[in-house]
Chains A and B, each alone.
Chain A
């Protein structure tokens, strides 16, 4: 039986510490991990809890991230509650097995401290790894601060393990900006946290020798398509269950999350759509602009996958100009968030003006001042009645301005 860990009502924890505590409280059976900056302290702390008797589960050290996720797949198929953590290059090495995990419908929880992808090598936070996972068939939840990283991790187990979902879940936090930033956190007691997460419910577990099952079978053109369609439907259908679990968590903690978080949007004329810790920085910018008479608001997908097409459309349908912020190099295209938000808005009556900003790559600072400048540029579009800048711009880039594509709308 695990030792009791003393935690206070208010703790000052960074995102990594908060997640490691959530993993401890969820009584994970197996953590198979290979540490990588900036997610290292998650598994380092977890290993510490194991060594000091605070955890009954197994901690498996492996030789790579590919092996880490493979270990997780094996343990989850055997019938255990499973979690791990990674970032950046480690995430990239896991990608092959991420698709295996989701295809086998294994509710693994992967906590990701988002970090840039090389080359050039960079350990700091951007969303390249999060975006790399967006077609992998995992549910992707996004935390904007350390407390939310804790909350999302507890919710991730409930969502993924729900009998109508049974999908793996990633919990994203910004590397360093959230993972290494200590803030006031109000954790649940161990009893409350485990009471919320609940006992693991086995489904087709391989360790049930009375009922042998196969995982990872081969299906060619006869059945592969049906499997993938079923998996996609499960992701789409998870939306209502995510809503239910967020509501339940809200009743327990007073912290109620939504698949799309709207801030100051009731009468907003201009909006920023963003992910990660920048969402809060943009909220501060919107507050300051409100005091100056600018009707600014912020919309942020809490749930990046399944993409909340419906809720994004609802949140933004009455706004006149929107800036979508992508913290990942789009590699010769518009940013992914821009594309997905624009697609959602194309089926609205008003079809607001939407522009794209690539920002913050490799941890480049994103300031309140810059967020305000972006809001004011949207205001200028509204006043002019058309988009006055290139549709895609780079924010915070040194050197000459970089922008692409002009609008064809008058």
Chain B
């Protein structure tokens, strides 16, 4: 079982990102679960989304999890939300930020000693450059694919094209650019 927790603000696309990831992972024959904790949350409110991935049918419906990956798609939430909650000695962090990893780590004492498992990528800038507005979910998927090694980039891009097939070609192309750039830039 692989468990992923997304830290996001309502409107940034964590739910869509989590469902899109689930959709692609399901094509490899795995069982997936994607859900979110929100409800009457307004755009901009802090929220969390979750993925579970397993070889057998997922019957666990608790919200509690010990995440293998923590994906932070809003730069400020890295500082204000408890991103290390219920983490494990093996939990990997991917954080969107314009700061260098060293600068970011200085501001988040909870990440001390976890340097080897912290990765940074500027999903905000990448989505602005490629998609033209702030939708950090697509680049985060690219960064996640790289850090987790779960898929080859080309396979993931092909699958995402199918997930996005109802959108105009321009949107599909710009999302592909965003995913590829984050894949190459995450460090």
Query: Hey, which bits of chain A sit against chain B, CB under 8 A?
Result: 10-12, 14, 37-38, 123-124, 145, 174, 176-178, 180-184, 277-278, 280-281, 283-284, 363, 365-369
Contacts and interface: CB of A to CB of B under 8 A. Distances in A.
Of residues A177, A183, A366, which shows the largest number of chain B Cβ atoms within 10 Å of its Cβ? A183
Given A37-B39, A284-B59, A368-B60, 11 more contacts: A12-B34, A14-B35, A123-B39, A123-B40, A145-B59, A181-B34, A182-B22, A182-B33, A182-B34, A280-B61, A366-B62
Given A12-B19, A368-B60, A181 B39 contact: no
Contacts of B43: none
B149 to A, nearest CB: 22
Contacts of A124: 39
16 contacts: A10-B27, A12-B22, A12-B34, A14-B19, A14-B34, A123-B40, A174-B61, A176-B35, A177-B61, A180-B36, A182-B35, A280-B59, A281-B59, A281-B62, A365-B64, A366-B62
B171 interface: no
Given A12-B23, A277-B61, A368-B62, A176 B32 contact: no
Contacts of B36: 180
Interface string B21-52: 01100110001111110011000000000000
B97 to A, nearest CB: 28
Contacts of B76: none
Contacts of B64: 365, 367, 369
A54 to B, nearest CB: 13
A181 B33 contact: yes
Contact of A12 (B32, B39, B40, B60): B32
Interface in B125-141: none
Contacts of A178: 61
Top 9 nearest A-B pairs by Cβ distance? A280-B59, A181-B35, A277-B61, A182-B34, A367-B62, A123-B39, A365-B63, A12-B23, A12-B22
B164 interface: no
Interface in B70-95: none
Contacts of A177: 35, 61
Nearest to B15: A180
A10 B26 contact: yes
A166 to B, nearest CB: 34
B58 interface: yes
Contacts of B27: 10
A11 B27 CA distance: 9
B35 A184 contact: no
A88 B170 CA distance: 41
A278 B35 contact: no
Contact of A278 (B39, B57, B61): B61
Nearest to B39: A123
A281 B60 contact: yes
A284 B60 contact: yes
A182 B32 contact: yes
A297 to B, nearest CB: 15
Of residues A11, A12, A37, A369, which shows the largest number of chain B Cβ atoms within 10 Å of its Cβ? A12
A365 B31 contact: no
A58 B80 CA distance: 48
A72 to B, nearest CB: 27
Given A10-B26, A123-B39, A183 B32 contact: yes
B60 to A, nearest CB: 5
A193 B101 CA distance: 53
A37 B36 CA distance: 14
A122 to B, nearest CB: 8
Nearest to B22: A12
A184 B60 contact: no
Nearest to B58: A183
Given A12-B32, A176-B35, A176-B39, A184 B62 contact: no
Contact of A180 (B35, B58, B60, B62): B35
A174 B63 CA distance: 14
Contacts of B31: 183-184
Nearest to A178: B61
A181 B61 contact: yes
A30 to B, nearest CB: 27
A402 to B, nearest CB: 22
Contact of A184 (B19, B26, B39, B40): B26
Contacts of A10: 26-27
Interface string B92-130: 000000000000000000000000000000000000000
A37 B35 contact: no
Contacts of A281: 59-62
Contact of A182 (B19, B40, B60, B62): B19
A181 B32 CA distance: 10
B161 to A, nearest CB: 15
Contacts of A181: 33-35, 61
Contacts of B59: 145, 280-281, 283-284
A281 B52 CA distance: 14
Contacts of A11: 26
Nearest to A147: B57
A174 to B, nearest CB: 8
A374 B23 CA distance: 35
